[in-house]
Amino acid sequence: MTVLVVMGVSGSGKTTVATRLAERLGVPYAEADSFHSAANIRKMTEGTPLTDADRAPWLRSIADWITEHEQGGGVVTSSALKRRYRDVLRTGGSVRFLHLDGPREIIADRMRHRSGHFMPPELLDSQLADLEPLDADEQGLVADVRWPPEDIVDLAMQELL
């Protein structure tokens, strides 16, 4: 089976869509934020963007989760901003990507109005600068963050499975 990676910048709705997808599919769900080290969380909380070196162990941990769940399937979130990050995730097994994308203003507004998350809105621009859209050879699709979450889940069910 395949593991679905719901990707996008912080505030794009990854958790909302991924939890609904996992529930609909009856498979395990993992939140990528839970794979971050305390040092990474502290850096982001302080408004410091992560480096590729900071992200490397985090990406390997997510890839390990993918390996553990490939047979039965699963859904995991990850910003997966760069192609090389997605390449690391693919080392875990068969994955397909659902990229949640949309206007900066909408995503920034979501970030300003959510509570209990360590990622400050000030880091959005650094994530958008790093974002590399899916290449034609990457299995996945793009969904607009302005669509209702259930519509995005329906699209993913039709197009990715």
pLDDT tens digits for range 61-75: 999 999 999 999 999
Task: Point out the least confidently predicted range of 34-43, 57-66, 96-105.
Answer: 34-43
Assigned token pair, 125: 């621009």
Percent of the chain at pLDDT above 70? 93
In the numeric block, the tokens 């990474």 are attached to 40
Q: Is the distance from CB of 32 to CB of 81 less than 8 angstroms? A: no
| Whole-Å CA distances, 68 to 1, 78, 104, 140 | 12, 16, 34, 21
Q: How many CB atoms lie within 10 A of CB 92?
A: 22
Q: Mean pLDDT throughout 100-124?
A: 75
Predicted TM-score of the model (pTM): 0.89
